[in-house]
Amino acid sequence: MPSLTGSVALVTGASSGIGAASAVALAAEGARVVLVARREDRLRDVASAITAAGGSALIAPADVADPGQVSAAVRRAAEELGRLDIVVNNAGLMRMGPALQASLDDWNALLAVNIQGVLNVTHAALPHLVDAATDSPRGVADLVTVSSTAGWVARPGTAVYSMTKFGANAFSEGLRQEVLGKRVRVGVVGPGTVDTEIGDSLPPDARAALERNTAGMEKLRSEDVADAITYMVTRPRRVAINHMLVRAAEQTW
């Protein structure tokens, strides 16, 4: 029997990249998966792939920066599926460039998604995770946040992006200590350079700099990070993997 049979997992940013790959991986382990993102058409594609493979997926479109939308999505998941055992805070935004040339709107957008989005989802989901842990066949519930190597090493051009990831790490560690007695594990996965569309929205100069920094590097695939997340949440109750860095093999930072 798959290790997550009977569990319900909610994944944000599930319309593409790491989120979509994680939803597919968790469904393959037997979890009923709730897909959260803004792009409903893309969510339907992911849900179709999951159901075609024999899994179960519920679409709950929402913008993680909007607390009302997040609350409604979490409430729908809990009401329709009866529980919430795993949450993957994956939705994220990347903006890069020198601070002297930065747009304040870009900085605020980073905070809205990478910080406020994590808080919105966690606040809405945490009571359900605590409840699920009391009668889970696994004996535990899991909250995983996708951070970045930028949450451990700050570099020029990434000051605010790194601030959001350092902040997510700190929030997760403080929360971990609060809820470990309630059988809720809190973990962070910090990917390095991943071949996803997250950099597509960068301005040309920032995209060119990113391409120079990663030239010749075989980037991680979304499935590699999904493997790490799946490994984290499928450990026995006695094991808590709280931090995991997953870098491309040639990445130095």
Catalytic residues: 161
Assign 3-state DSSP to the chain and report helix, strand, coil percentages, each to 5.
Answer: 50, 15, 35
Estimate to the nearest angstrom the gap between the alpha carbon of 214 and the chain centroid.
Answer: 23
Burial of 122 (0-12, 13-18, 19+ CB in 10 A): buried
Question: Diameter of the chain by CA atoms?
Answer: 55
Cα end-to-end span (Å), the chain: 39
Distance CA 101, CA 30 (A): 47
Distance CA 184, CA 194 (A): 28
Adjacency order of strands within the sheet including 86-89: 56-59, 32-36, 8-12, 86-89, 141-146, 184-191, 243-246
